[in-house]
């Protein structure tokens, strides 16, 4: 019997063959058909080809992972402009209107627009439509820069929502409904609430409760859901529900991040009548190109087609692969992957979390996120999405070869064992222990909070092994090197 990911891979390849879409096996032939010889793209193509020769597996966006893009194989054949029969994105009345209507039905919105300038375009148009010039607005401080650009263009006066932070990683926690309620009461002239969910790292906020609060105050809620285009499409796969389903008035999604769309493809979804369709279209005409790419729009329509025909099988296999990844990394003791393996959501201040994101926390080791990302690249041939000092972020997607998720988990386990050996062998000088003890004793005198004391202890020593030695010395707990301190 085939494993779930094998069935999903067969479905993906079968879909691509039947619909004339692009698969990895066609790369060489397709390049030859379109370019005729290697120098057509000049130095840029040469540099990209050299990168591809490294055969790094992409644990980053786009979600198709350069393996299956749901668009025609001969891109040039479909590179149209607005002529008779091809419709016009800015005045859609024919085939583009029908395509967007199919997507609208799939996601459950009242109106959906295709975006070829990315979610950035949707954020610029959406904020401009809901915030009057020189008006007030409540905005989460961890929003994308495109939201801030829109605020600047509107000369808006933002009232900031400041989500708390994870102390070890620096990742923003969920926006709490009570914080929204407090600002709505304090600033009754605010025209709207704008927030991001999920965040880049996968942290999800309670959109349903926040939407209800906004509507009680008679203001719309706009959600930058760029990293959540896969939400709400296949409930059985276990991903969080979408902002549209939970009552958001306006949401923006990037099809290229977590679906199979080409880079720059996105959606703008409207629900309810609190925001004018005409105003949104007026703002889209300003911020979106007047020459939209038909290959990109075909890619968006292809995402809808794929989800209608193969989406459930693919998403469920994706979920199974993530569960298997969780089992593989359960032995981790130095590293941890947020909300995966032994790490649970209950240990975080997250309302919900997107399991497609793999946030590898190395804050309790001697390694930085940048160093971890480099090691995974050079030794294990994985290219991650990004790195910060305390963690590295890997993105999974529906286009993944799900066997690679197993190999990625095994790579993390290998690195973890080496970090544990290193921590066990590292000698601890008496001077370091004595200094650590004195610093934490002072903290105990000054602050009764256990969390504060533990944070002080972590900052007092150079490694997780040093911390363990200190804790044993002070009879607080007995821990093996690299075990998490909860």
Domain ranges for the chain: 89-309, 311-427
Give pLDDT, residue 72: 83
pLDDT by residue for the chain (486 residues), tens only, comes to 445 455 555 555 555 555 555 544 444 434 444 444 445 678 999 999 999 999 999 999 999 999 987 888 888 999 999 999 999 999 999 999 999 999 999 999 999 999 999 999 999 999 999 999 999 999 999 999 999 999 999 999 999 999 999 999 999 999 999 999 999 999 999 999 999 999 999 999 999 999 999 999 999 999 999 999 999 999 999 999 999 999 999 999 999 999 999 999 999 999 999 999 999 999 999 999 999 999 999 999 999 999 999 999 999 999 999 999 999 999 999 999 999 999 999 999 999 999 999 999 999 999 999 999 999 999 999 999 999 999 999 999 999 999 999 999 999 999 999 999 988 877 444 444 444 444 445 545 544 444 444 444 444 444 344 434 433 444 333 333 343 333
391-395 vs 357-361, strand pairing mode: antiparallel
Give the integer Cα–Cα distance in Å for 351 and 205. Answer: 5
Contact 124, 290 (CB under 8 A): no
| CB-CB contact of 170 with 388 (8 Å) | yes
CA–CA dist 99, 103 (Å, integer): 7
Q: Could you give the CA distance from residue 360 to residue 308 in angstroms, rounded to a whole number?
A: 33
In contact, 180 and 208? CB cutoff 8 Å: no
Tokens 């600033």 -> residue: 187
Give pTM, 2 decimals. 0.82
In words, the CATH class of domain 89-309 is: alpha beta
Residues 353, 199: Cα–Cα separation, whole Å: 9
Q: Residue 424: its pLDDT value, please? A: 81
Q: Backbone phi, then psi, for 388, in 5-degree steps?
A: -125, 170
Q: How many CB atoms lie within 10 A of CB 2?
A: 9
The tokens for 244 are 């549209």
> Do residues 454 and 485 touch, judged by C-beta distance below 8 A?
yes
Nearest to 232 by CA among 118, 109, 346, 113: 109
Long-range contacts of 178-186 (CB under 8 A, 24+ apart): 180/138, 180/210, 180/213, 180/214, 181/213, 183/138, 183/159, 184/138, 184/213, 184/214, 184/217, 184/219, 186/159
Whether 88 contacts 233, CB under 8 Å = no
For the chain, give the number of residues: 486
Tokens of 331: 């032995």
The reply to whether domains 89-309 and 311-427 share a CATH topology is no
**CATH code at 311-427:** 3.90.1150.10
In whole angstroms, give the CA distance from residue 220 to residue 191: 8
- Which H or E run contains 377? helix 369-380
Q: Quick one: which H or E segment has residue 69?
A: strand 68-72
- Beta strands at 336-337 and 203-204: parallel, antiparallel or unpaired: unpaired
Query: For residue 25, what pLDDT is reported?
Result: 41
Distance of CA 61 to the CA centre of its chain: 9
**pLDDT value at residue 68:** 83
Residue 20 pLDDT: 55
User: What three-state secondary structure class fits 385?
Assistant: coil
pLDDT at 486: 30
pLDDT in the model for residue 479: 37
DSSP state of 264: T
d(CA 86, CA 401): 35
Q: How far is CA 471 from the centre of its chain?
A: 37
Peptide bond into 477 cis (omega under 30): no
User: In the 8-state DSSP scheme, what is residue 141?
Assistant: T
From the CA atom positions of the chain, what is the Rg in Å?
A: 25
Q: What is the pLDDT of residue 69?
A: 72
């Amino acid at each position: 019997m085939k494993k779930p990911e094998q069935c999903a891979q067969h479905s993906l390849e079968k879909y691509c063959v039947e619909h004339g879409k692009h698969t990895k096996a066609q790369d060489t032939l397709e390049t030859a058909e379109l370019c005729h010889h290697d120098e057509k793209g000049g130095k840029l193509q040469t540099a990209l080809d050299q990168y591809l020769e490294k055969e790094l597996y992409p644990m980053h966006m786009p979600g198709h992972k350069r393996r299956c893009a749901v668009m025609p194989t001969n891109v040039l054949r479909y590179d149209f402009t607005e002529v008779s029969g091809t419709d016009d994105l800015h005045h859609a009345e024919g085939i583009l209107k029908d395509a967007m209507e199919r997507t609208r039905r799939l996601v459950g919105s009242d109106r959906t627009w295709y975006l070829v300038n990315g979610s950035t375009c949707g954020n610029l148009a959406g904020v401009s439509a809901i915030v009057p010039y020189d008006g007030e607005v409540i905005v989460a401080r961890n929003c994308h820069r495109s939201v801030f650009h829109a605020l600047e263009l509107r000369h808006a006066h933002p009232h900031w929502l400041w989500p708390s932070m994870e102390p070890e990683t620096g990742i923003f926690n969920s926006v709490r409904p009570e914080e929204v309620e407090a600002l709505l009461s304090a600033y009754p002239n605010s025209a709207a609430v704008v927030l991001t969910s999920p965040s880049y790292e996968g942290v999800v906020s309670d959109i349903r409760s926040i939407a209800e609060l906004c509507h009680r105050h008679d203001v719309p809620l706009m959600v930058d859901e760029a990293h959540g285009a896969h939400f709400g499409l296949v409930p059985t796969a276990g991903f969080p529900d979408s902002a549209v389903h939970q009552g958001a008035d306006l949401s923006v999604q990037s099809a290229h991040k977590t679906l199979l769309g080409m880079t720059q493809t996105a959606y703008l979804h409207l629900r309810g009548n609190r925001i004018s369709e005409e105003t949104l279209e007026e703002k889209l005409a300003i911020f979106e190109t007047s020459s939209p790419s038909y290959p990109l729009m075909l890619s968006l329509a292809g995402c809808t087609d794929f989800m209608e025909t193969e989406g459930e099988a693919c998403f469920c296999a994706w979920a199974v692969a993530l569960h298997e990844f969780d089992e593989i990394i359960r032995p981790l003791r130095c590293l941890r992957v947020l909300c995966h393996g032994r790490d649970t959501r209950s240990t975080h201040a997250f309302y919900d979390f997107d399991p497609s994101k793999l946030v590898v926390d190395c804050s309790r080791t001697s390694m930085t996120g940048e160093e971890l990302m480099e090691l995974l690249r050079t030794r294990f041939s994985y290219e991650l999405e990004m790195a910060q000092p305390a963690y590295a972020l890997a993105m999974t997607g529906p286009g993944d070869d799900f066997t690679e998720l197993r190999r990625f988990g095994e790579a993390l386990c290998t690195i973890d064992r080496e970090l544990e050996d290193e921590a066990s062998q590292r000698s601890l000088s008496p001077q370091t222990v004595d200094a650590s003890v004195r610093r934490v004793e002072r903290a105990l005198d000054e602050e009764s909070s256990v969390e504060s004391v533990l944070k002080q202890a972590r900052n007092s020593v150079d490694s997780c092994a040093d911390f363990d030695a200190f804790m044993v010395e002070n009879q607080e707990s007995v821990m093996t090197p690299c075990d998490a301190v909860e």
